[in-house]
Amino acid sequence: MSILKKVTLYIFVLAICGVGEAIAQKNSKCTLDDLKGKWFGEWELNKSTSNFMMIVSVDKVDKCKISGTIYWPDYFNSKSKFEGKLENDTLYLRDYELTQGYDMKFGGVYKLPFSDSENLTGFWLNPAGQKDAKYSLKKQSALTKEELFAISDQIKAHVKTFGVTRVLEGKPDISFEELVKRHGDKNPPFNDSFVNLEFSGKVTINKMEMPVCSIFAYPDRFYMKMDMQNLSFLMAANGKNSWSYNPMEDELTVEEFDMEEFKEKSVYKKNHLKSLIDDGYKMLLFNEALVDEVDVYRIVFEKEDSRITKFVDKASFLVCRTDKNNELEYLYEIKDVDGFPIPSKMKQVTLEMVNHFEFDKMRFLNEIDENLFEIPEELKSKENNTFKQSEHFNELGIALFAKGNHDEAIIEYNKAININPGEPAYYNNRGAAKNGKDDFYSAISDFNIAIELNPNFAEAYNRRGLSKYYLNDYKNAIPDFTSCIEIDSTYENAYFNRGNTYYSLGNKESAYFDFKKLEKLNRKEPKYFYYKAIVAADLQKYDTAIISYNKAIELDLNHANIYNFRGVAYYSLDSMEFALNDFKIATSLDTLDAVKFENMADAYYYLDDFMASAKAYKKALSLDENNDGLYNKLGLTYLKQDIYDVAVSKFTKALEINNQNATYYDNRAYAKTQLMDFMGAVEDYSNSIDIYSQDPDIYYRRGLLKLSLKDNFDACRDFKKAKELGSEDAQAALDEHCFMNKNGG
């Protein structure tokens, strides 16, 4: 880059059948009364295999505006307010406030081409403009009694499953700080180093009841046993690995220990508000609510893009419900266990299943059998050998992939898939290897399978996005990177890839946001600061760019380009000494890039050091000998030194390479004028005008030269043309030299 020339929630579209001319005329008068009432239907996300109910209730119509509620019975029995208005025969709706159910992020727009039809069908556009869901709604008056009864029964079933959680208006009766204090008073902390907590009772999983016994040995051990007839299901973690035994399959599965998963199992600690705050969560919303008619405080916590909602019973100041990761957890019948409040009943609800836990015995153990957490000897031989075999080939593939042997890696991944075709990681890994050999379409097929097997596979979304990026399908790559981020808000590569993709689309503001986010996620990765700086400079945020370049350099990113780009930012701020210093470093690190020497020459030129500037331009030309712009700039340095004959030769060289640049003719004409070659200068100005005929200054200069050549008639024509084009000097020349102008000719 040479520098001398400083120059969430949804979009919802309903396509309506049968919209005729008469309807369009009616819409223009904002007749929205036909929309009033309830609309029933369903929506289906492309990533999901299930349909979900959707009920839109238009409660109020006021000229061109409407308002009401949108209700999702089978999405945790959730409801929100919306408002809308009619513009250009299209109705725009915006949901803005949750009134019931599971916390949702608002900010999107529903877009409905207006009609008085009783059937609406359409699709959902995600923020990147891609179709991600299908919709269909039917007006209540178009439904039969049987259909309405069936809908009513479904709603009752969903209410029974998810409960009713209403968000109340108004401010809470205590401050958030006071709530945390009172909650903490009711929840004394215990020391992780010695706490062993045992629960025993029964668990009901989708109506199947089993006795259960579990032990938490903090900080990193866990054991659970569930009995069904004469069979025992076992789960345990011991700080090194997690294992489970399924007696139905007579199969042992062993995995690496996951501390976060262990924390999730902790009934006591994960429901302590202070532990959330200590973990970096901030209070986003604080209000009052009703959970199945129980008065509660509702707190929405947020960390990065992760949200957790806690409901605290106003009477006991204990957590009675938690909403997180599309799961509800209800806690009932709190018992005092040696001074600690522990729930004796718990219900876990997802969109697919309901689990009930009832504990009749809860106690702290002074001693514990450490062997409980280890794999029993009699089970070690039952480890999933099929899994072991497929993992062996998968690991071979990973090792080959790391060495760049993509074809060999694919062979090993094929073996793993043949043994265990239901493992999404194998398809994801094979897709990555195919990306490595530029087989992007086939890679996308593998990522599709991985995502179908595991819709929450963040890495597969990221890699599929990369495949599309490499195919220059930027618009379709964005939603994949976004899906990855929605699943894992700390996934750095997805932000990086999405930022680059936005940049490729010319959406520099969005790219800047992603690189800025990366700076916060990882303050030790220099390339994040570097890329943010590049985009900031493109957005003319030069001060910000320099700060980020400085940070990248501080983190040992010391290649030539970063100094060159920082120099450009300094140049743009007219901080020429700093710019020159950076260009000197850049050219010392990279002696083969003409642009870097050109930038250094530009800085010298700006500082009036024309000899140094000429030397740098010559170096640039030695690296790029057919660059007409460089010859022109070199000619300018000789003009500044009054070496006009050499200047003419450089402008001539520029014109030999590119004879369609008017500026080169102008510059050579000026140099020839200084050499008293008026005829040559006139010829150059004439060639310039042939290329660009709207510059008044060139006509004026040519007119002056023609006066010197005693060609007054043509000179006056040039002055007249210069005046017509806006020259302020031309009128004086006309008055002094042109008789016809004096007589109004």
pLDDT given at position 251: 82
Q: What is the separation of C-alpha 627 from the centre of its chain, rounded to a whole number of angstroms?
A: 40
Cα–Cα distance, 20 to 170 (Å, whole number): 46
The H or E element containing residue 53 is strand 52-62
- 3-state SS string over 627-667? CHHHHHHHHHHHHHCCCHHHHHHHHHHHHHHCCCCHHHHHH
Phi, psi of 418 (to 5 degrees): -65, -35
Cα–Cα distance, 327 to 468 (Å, whole number): 32
pLDDT given at position 231: 85
Question: Collapsing DSSP states into helix, strand and coil, what is residue 36?
Answer: coil
Residue at 46: amino acid letter: N
pLDDT, average across residues 615-633: 97
Phi-psi region of 187 (alpha: psi -120 to 50; beta: other; left: phi over 0): beta
Phi, psi of 274 (to 5 degrees): -65, -35
pLDDT, average across residues 487-496: 93
Question: Collapsing DSSP states into helix, strand and coil, what is residue 9?
Answer: coil
pLDDT, average across residues 169-184: 91
DSSP state of 384: -
pLDDT given at position 27: 42
The H or E element containing residue 204 is strand 196-205
DSSP state of 352: S
Q: What is the DSSP string of 552-577?
A: HHHTT---HHHHHHHHHHHHHTT-HH
The H or E element containing residue 13 is strand 11-15
Please give the model's pTM, rounded to 2 decimal places. Answer: 0.56
161 neighbors 293 (Cβ within 8 angstroms): no
Q: What is the DSSP string of 66-135?
A: EEEEEEETTTTTEEEEEEEEEETTEEEEEEEEEEESS------EEEEE----SEEEEEEE-TTS-EEEEE
User: What's the pLDDT tens digit per position in 451-488?
Assistant: 999 999 999 999 999 999 999 999 999 999 999 999 99
User: What's the pLDDT tens digit per position in 213-260?
Assistant: 888 887 678 888 888 878 888 988 887 778 888 888 788 888 766 656
| 418 CB-contact burial (10 Å; exposed 0-12 / middle 13-18 / buried 19+) | exposed
What is each CA distance from 592 to 75, 96, 355, 579, in whole angstroms? Answer: 61, 57, 67, 19
691 neighbors 662 (Cβ within 8 angstroms): yes
Cα–Cα distance, 299 to 180 (Å, whole number): 10
pLDDT given at position 87: 73
pLDDT given at position 127: 53
pLDDT given at position 121: 66
- Cβ atoms < 10 Å from Cβ of 380: 12
Cα–Cα distance, 466 to 424 (Å, whole number): 18
pLDDT given at position 15: 31
Cα–Cα distance, 582 to 599 (Å, whole number): 10
Angle at 459 between CA 458 and CA 460, to 5 degrees: 90
Enumerate domains of the chain plus CATH numbers: 11-163 (2.40.128), 176-378 (2.50.20.10), 384-444 (1.25.40.10)
207 neighbors 193 (Cβ within 8 angstroms): no
Phi, psi of 314 (to 5 degrees): -70, -25
pLDDT given at position 702: 96
What is each CA distance from 385 to 363, 411, 694, in whole angstroms? Answer: 38, 20, 82
Phi, psi of 47 (to 5 degrees): -85, -5
Pick the range with the lowest mean pLDDT from 131-140, 563-572, 605-614, 661-670.
131-140
pLDDT, average across residues 726-731: 92
Phi, psi of 240 (to 5 degrees): -105, -45
605 neighbors 636 (Cβ within 8 angstroms): yes
Q: How confident is the model at residue 1 (pLDDT cuts 50, 70, 90)?
A: very low
Nearest to 450 by CA among 475, 413, 486, 415: 413
pLDDT given at position 383: 72
Cα–Cα distance, 451 to 47 (Å, whole number): 9
pLDDT given at position 326: 84
Give the CA-trace dihedral at 641, 645, 646, 650, to 10 degrees: 110
Q: How confident is the model at residue 622 (pLDDT cuts 50, 70, 90)?
A: very high
| 424 has pLDDT over 80 | yes
Cα–Cα distance, 237 to 223 (Å, whole number): 7
Pick the range with the lowest mean pLDDT from 240-254, 406-420, 689-703.
240-254
- Report the DSSP pairing between strands 11-15 and 109-113: parallel
pLDDT, average across residues 386-402: 90
- Cβ atoms < 10 Å from Cβ of 182: 18
Phi, psi of 49 (to 5 degrees): -100, 0
242 neighbors 256 (Cβ within 8 angstroms): yes
| Both structure tokens of 157 | 């079933």
Phi, psi of 520 (to 5 degrees): -75, -35
Average pLDDT, whole number, for the chain?
86
Q: How confident is the model at residue 266 (pLDDT cuts 50, 70, 90)?
A: low
Task: Find residue 57's DSSP bridge partners.
Answer: 38, 69
